[in-house]
Amino acid sequence: MTEIRDVDVAELRHLVSERALKGETMLLNMGPQHPSTHGVLRLMLELDGEIVVNCIPDIGFLHTGVEKNMESKTYQKAEVMTDRLDYMNPIGNNLVYCLAVEKLCDLDVPLRAQGVRVILAELTRLNSHLLWLGTSGLDIGAMSLFLYCMREREMILDIFEMCSGQRMMTTYIRPGGLWRDVPVEFEGAVRDFIELMPRRIEEYESLLNENPLFLERTAGIGVLTYENAIRWGATGPIARGSGVKFDLRKERPYMGYEQYDFDIPTRTEGDVRARYLVRMDEMRESLKIIRQALDKLPYGPVRSNNRKFIPPPRSEIGVSMEALIHHFKLWTEGFNVPKGAIYTAIESPRGELGVYLESDGGPKPYRVHYRTPSFAALQLMPLLAKGHFIADLVAIIASIDIVLGDTDR
Amino acid sequence: MDGAMILEWVIKSIFLILVMTGGFAYVTLYERKVLARIQVRIGPNRAGPFGVLQPVADGIKLIFKEELVPAKADKLIFTLAPVLTVIPALIITAVVPWGTEVTLFGRTIKLYLADINIAVLYLMAVTSISIYGIALAGWSSNNKYATLGGLRATAQMISYELALGFAMIVPVMMAGSMSLVDIVESQKPVWFVFVQPLAFLIYFIAALAEINRSPFDMPEAEQELTAGYHTEYSGMKFALFFMAEYIKMIAISMIGSSLFLGGYRGPFVDQLPALGPLYLFIKVAIVLFVIIWIRATLPRIRYDRLMQFGWKVLFPLALLNVFVTGVVLILVGG
């Protein structure tokens, strides 16, 4: 185990330019409490006037120890913690964790559960993109957009609440299926939402797309080239904004994504505007997927019938001794997962969200590691920010759409 | 000069200051209500019926707040800066006429504080002073964000002052006088905004930049510089900056209305002069609405683009406009 030691200031000198040491440029500490660092991100900025010479991201202010904590909980209980990672994508975090557990245990997932999972995952993507759109609008000073986005996001949260009783931290997706079936109102609510949403997206675009002030603030700002996008491990809308046509839903389909017809929007400019346009188009594609999934949604069970992993229904417990034993065992000891290690990844709203899960054969994970897109995207900051104004820096932070809960875990 | 006249001036001055400070309070409410409506919210509605007591509540809150002065701040300038900002804002409207004359208690009272023959020059001079307050506030706080905010304000001011000046010269040329009373009176046949739409537009844009309103609110761009020049201010000192900003909003609307929108002029104002202030009030309310509407809709323009726009677009346009107006006036008049 490595020893924890204090860092000497002299060791950090290489991070700034020679001119900063002579006092020619200004060092500005932006964050961790700052209105537009989207959480508790700290940026050390070296400024020449208002132009960013160096940008040094400093993370760890929201470190929650989720990964380590998961090691001391049974597989069912550990899942509750995953919601708290990327708090804009709780269902995606659940989903990738459940996929990993299901693969390790070789659990089957009924078709209805798969369909509902897809609908909810895409709703979460919309939820995340709406919040991103609102806050990035706010960051460049278009304040009303934020409240319009919140209005639509509210509808999504209402749907989550309807299903799980929770608006954000749902833990609705469970290994082997869902917590329970969706209520009867679910389909109507989702249909209302996908009917309304295309109009609303057009409304947002009418505020921004052709607005010269918006174009000035976004076109040509924070350009990420195709090569750099690949070299720095950018995924999701950031990579797609730079022309990397990579989406795990197409490349390595999970949860039956191969049966839905949708496009992967890409742009080649690689600037803030390209990332904006990609995300706007992604919202439309998500609506397409939701509509198809809703049309195809079969009836049937929403949980696997494997009693070694899935608790029996309430009705069985009263009449079956075996069911009672299963129930007791599952909620006290948990289920044993066969020894092995696995990496599973899904396409989260921010990019490739992967989980590495290692089991030693017991009821608790031996090691959990999340490969989070925000962490990978954040290392782009010094590259993208260099040579831009502070005002652009804010737009760049917004455009890479970091969630600090996702970065520090 | 008799004692009654001095008394009249004192009363009018106090009245004007009360109207401006009261107006400030209710412009904040007006802005919050309008913004809320645009943004599908309700807005303040807890304090009093329809939230009319909200500004009072805000004021009381700010008075009781602790006033912090940063340890390494320049204390004298730090205290002086808000005063320097708010006083020009208050005295700016002294030359704006509210109406012609009314007879009150058997005495003819002119509905303006001062009708000086260099009113437009006075306006230009006084509006420029308040920038000192902002620049000094930014500098004396000993805070990097505040310094950047102060610098931005200064740069912005320099870029827009000229265009603003040239836009204001146009009505002066049309009226042949610098007195605002004369300018308003010469709009009797037709408002200058219909004759000189470009000048009005330039005036409006430059004025928005002058008072640091969105989309030119860079000095206090919350998302970039936390709160810009007033980052370190709290309590009543902060309230003074806030007050200056909103009073300047009213002043800019009043001046704009007088220069281009016919000021207190309206139907039947010659028969019933008491209507003058009402017409001015309506015009100011409409201009204020547009300012708030812009804030709700547009993103913030970037600092360097703002300067480019000021020097490369607005300034030449304003100059050209003055030139063309001059030529036309000579051709028509000569």
pLDDT tens-digit series, residues B68-126: 888 887 888 888 888 888 888 888 878 888 777 777 666 777 777 777 778 888 888 88
Residue A278: pLDDT band (50, 70, 90) is very high
Neighboring chain A residues of B300 at a CB cutoff of 8 Å: 140-142, 213, 217, 391
User: Is B41 part of the contact surface with chain A (CB cutoff 8 Å)?
Assistant: yes
Total residue length of chain A: 409
pLDDT reading at A110 higher than 70: yes
- Annotate chain B with three-state secondary structure: CCHHHHHHHHHHHHHHHHHHHHHHHHHHHHHHHHHHHHCCCCCCCCCCHHHCCHHHHHHHHHHHCCCCCCCCCCHHHHHHHHHHHHHHHHHHHHHCCCCCEEEECCEEEECCCCCCCCHHHHHHHHHHHHHHHHHHHHHHCCCHHHHHHHHHHHHHHHHHHHHHHHHHHHHHHHHCCCCHHHHHHCCCCCCHHHHCHHHHHHHHHHHHHHCCCCCCCHHHCHHHHCCHHHCCCCHHHHHHHHHHHHHHHHHHHHHHHHHHCCCCCCCCCCCCCCHHHHHHHHHHHHHHHHHHHHHHHCCCCCHHHHHHHHHHHHHHHHHHHHHHHHHHHHHHHC
Give the gap in angstroms from C-alpha A289 to the nearest C-alpha of chain B: 29
Give the gap in angstroms from C-alpha A354 to the nearest C-alpha of chain B: 32
Please answer yes or no on whether B145 and A26 come within 8 Å at the CB atom: no
Which run of H or E residues covers position A356?
strand A351-359
Could you tell me the residue ranges of all domains in chain A?
2-58, 66-304+337-371
pLDDT at A317: 87
pLDDT reading at B199 higher than 80: yes
pLDDT at A344: 92
Phi, psi of A348 (to 5 degrees): -85, 170
Cβ neighbours for B193, distance < 8 A, ≥ 6 positions apart = B200, B260, B261
Q: Which residues of A touch B (CB under 8 A)?
A: 26, 28, 34-36, 50, 137-144, 147-148, 151, 207-208, 211, 213-214, 216-217, 389-394
Residue-wise pLDDT for A141-156, tens only, equals 778 888 888 989 999 9
**What is the Cα B249 distance to its own chain's centre?**
4
Residue among A93, A108, A39 at smallest CA distance from A308: A108
Question: What is the value of pTM for the model shown?
Answer: 0.86
pLDDT at B216: 75
Residue among A218, A41, A43, A234 at smallest CA distance from A139: A218
Residue-wise pLDDT for A4-62, tens only, equals 777 676 777 777 777 777 777 888 888 788 777 777 888 888 888 788 888 888 888 88
Neighboring chain B residues of A207 at a CB cutoff of 8 Å: 297
pLDDT reading at A383 higher than 80: yes
pLDDT at B45: 85
pLDDT at A339: 92
- Annotate A110-165 with three-state secondary structure: CHHHHHHHHHHHHHHHHHHHHHHHHHHHHHCCCHHHHHHHHHHHHHHHHHHHHHHC
Which two tokens mark B35?
């913004």
Cβ neighbours for A234, distance < 8 A, ≥ 6 positions apart = A224, A228, A242, A244, A351, A376, A377, A380
CB neighbour class for B47 (10 Å; exposed up to 12, middle 13-18, buried from 19): middle
Please answer yes or no on whether B300 and A140 come within 8 Å at the CB atom: yes
Q: Which of A140, A152, A207, A273 to mutate to test the interface with B (most CBs of B within 10 A)?
A: A140
Nearest to A389 among B226, B298, B304 (CB): B304
Q: Which of A104-108, A127-131, B184-188 has the lowest average pLDDT?
A: B184-188
Neighboring chain A residues of B218 at a CB cutoff of 8 Å: 391
| CB-defined contacts A:B, below 8 A | 78
Rounded to whole angstroms, the Cα distance separating A405 from A343 reads 21
Neighboring chain A residues of B41 at a CB cutoff of 8 Å: 147
Average pLDDT over chain A, rounded to an integer: 87
pLDDT reading at A63 higher than 90: no
Q: Supply the DSSP symbol for A54.
A: E
Neighboring chain A residues of B214 at a CB cutoff of 8 Å: 141
pLDDT at A2: 65
pLDDT at A387: 86
HSE at residue A65, side-chain half, CA atoms within 13 A, is 5
pLDDT at A17: 76
Give the gap in angstroms from C-alpha B297 to the nearest C-alpha of chain A: 6
Residue predicted with more confidence, A365 or B196: A365
Neighboring chain B residues of A147 at a CB cutoff of 8 Å: 39-41
Residue A122: pLDDT band (50, 70, 90) is very high
Rounded to whole angstroms, the Cα distance separating B188 from B62 reads 44
Nearest to B38 among A26, A138, A144 (CB): A144
Mean pLDDT for A109-129 is 91
Residue A343: pLDDT band (50, 70, 90) is very high
- Please, are residues A322 and A215 in contact by the beta-carbon 8 Å criterion? no
CA-nearest residue of chain A to B221? A141
pLDDT reading at B56 higher than 90: no
pLDDT reading at B334 higher than 80: no
Phi, psi of A210 (to 5 degrees): -100, 5
Give the gap in angstroms from C-alpha B286 to the nearest C-alpha of chain A: 20
Neighboring chain A residues of B40 at a CB cutoff of 8 Å: 147-148, 151
Is the peptide bond between A32 and the residue preceding it cis, with omega within 30 degrees of 0?
A: yes
pLDDT at B106: 67
Please answer yes or no on whether B226 and A35 come within 8 Å at the CB atom: yes
Please answer yes or no on whether B39 and A148 come within 8 Å at the CB atom: yes
Q: What is the CA radius of gyration of chain A?
A: 23
Residue A157: pLDDT band (50, 70, 90) is very high
Domain A66-304+337-371 is found in CATH 1.10.645.10: yes
User: Is B296 part of the contact surface with chain A (CB cutoff 8 Å)?
Assistant: yes
pLDDT reading at B237 higher than 90: no
pLDDT reading at B224 higher than 70: no
User: Is B126 part of the contact surface with chain A (CB cutoff 8 Å)?
Assistant: no
Q: Which of B39, B216, B223, B303 to mutate to test the interface with A (most CBs of A within 10 A)?
A: B223
User: Is B36 part of the contact surface with chain A (CB cutoff 8 Å)?
Assistant: no
Rounded to 10°, the helix B235-260/B75-91 angle is 30
